[in-house]
A and B are shown apart, each in its own frame.
Chain A
Amino acid sequence: MTDDVLRVGVAGPVGSGKTALIEALVPVLIARGRRPAVVTNDIYTQEDAQHVRRNLAGVLDPERVVGVETGACPHTAVRDDPTMNLAAGAELLERFPDIDTLLYESGGDNLTLTFSPVLADMFFFVLDTAEGEKMPRKRGPGITDSDVLVINKTDIARYVRCDLAVMTADADRVREGRPVVLTNSLTGDGIDRVADLLESYRRVSA
Chain B
Amino acid sequence: MTATATAASAATAASAATGGALDTLLVSLQLTDSAFPSGRYTLSHSLEGFLQAKAVSATSMPVLLTDLLRHSIGPGDATALALAHRAAVTGDWDTVAEVDQRLHASKLNRELRLAAIRTGRQLLDTAQLALGGPILDRYATLVTAGRAPGCQAVAAGVAYASGGVGTEQAVASDLFAFAVSFTGAALRLRLTDHRRAQTTLRSIAPAIKEVTAAALRREAADLGGCVPAADIMSGRHERAEARMFAS
Q: Does A30 make an interface contact (CB < 8 A)?
A: no
Q: Does B107 make an interface contact (CB < 8 A)?
A: no
One of A57-65, A68-76, A149-157, A168-176 at the interface: A68-76
Bound complex: CA of A84 vs CA of B118, how far in Å? 7
Verify A81–B241 contact, CB threshold 8 A.
no
Number of A-B contacts (CB under 8 A): 58
Give chain A residues whose Cβ lies under 8 Å from the Cβ of B35: 80-81
B39-53 near A? 1/0 per residue, CB < 8 Å: 101111000000000
Verify B122–A86 contact, CB threshold 8 A.
yes
Count chain B residues whose beta carbon lies closer than 8 angstroms to a beta carbon of A: 22
The closest CB in chain B to the CB of A76 belongs to B41
The closest CB in chain A to the CB of B122 belongs to A83
Give chain B residues whose Cβ lies under 8 Å from the Cβ of A76: 41
B230-245 near A? 1/0 per residue, CB < 8 Å: 0000000000011111
Using A71-B185, A71-B188, A72-B188 as known contacts, say yes or no to A83 and B39 having CB atoms under 8 A apart.
Answer: yes
The closest CB in chain B to the CB of A86 belongs to B122
The closest CB in chain B to the CB of A69 belongs to B246
| Partner of B246 from A71, A80, A86 at Cβ < 8 Å | A71
Bound complex: CA of A70 vs CA of B48, how far in Å? 13
Bound complex: CA of A45 vs CA of B242, how far in Å? 4
Verify B242–A84 contact, CB threshold 8 A.
no
Using A83-B38, A83-B122 as known contacts, say yes or no to A71 and B242 having CB atoms under 8 A apart.
Answer: no
| Partner of B244 from A71, A86, A88 at Cβ < 8 Å | A71
Verify A83–B245 contact, CB threshold 8 A.
no
Verify B244–A83 contact, CB threshold 8 A.
no
Which of A68, A71, A82, A87 has its CB near the most chain B CB atoms (within 10 A)? A71
Using A83-B122, A84-B246 as known contacts, say yes or no to A71 and B241 having CB atoms under 8 A apart.
Answer: no
Q: Does B24 make an interface contact (CB < 8 A)?
A: no
Bound complex: CA of A70 vs CA of B43, how far in Å? 8
Give chain B residues whose Cβ lies under 8 Å from the Cβ of A80: 35, 37
Count chain A residues whose beta carbon lies closer than 8 angstroms to a beta carbon of B: 19
Verify A44–B242 contact, CB threshold 8 A.
yes
Give chain B residues whose Cβ lies under 8 Å from the Cβ of A69: 42, 243-246
Give chain B residues whose Cβ lies under 8 Å from the Cβ of A72: 188, 244
| Partner of B119 from A43, A70, A73, A83 at Cβ < 8 Å | A83
The closest CB in chain B to the CB of A70 belongs to B42
Give chain B residues whose Cβ lies under 8 Å from the Cβ of A78: none
Bound complex: CA of A68 vs CA of B111, how far in Å? 12
The closest CB in chain B to the CB of A90 belongs to B121
How far apart are B140's CB and chain A's nearest CB, in angstroms? Answer: 14
**26 pairs of residues in contact across A and B, judged by CB atoms under 8 Å:** A44-B244, A45-B241, A69-B243, A69-B244, A69-B245, A69-B246, A71-B41, A71-B42, A71-B44, A71-B245, A72-B188, A73-B41, A81-B37, A81-B38, A81-B41, A82-B37, A83-B37, A83-B38, A83-B118, A83-B126, A84-B42, A84-B118, A84-B122, A84-B246, A87-B121, A88-B118
B residues in contact (CB < 8 Å) with A? 35, 37-39, 41-44, 118-119, 121-122, 125-126, 185, 188, 241-246
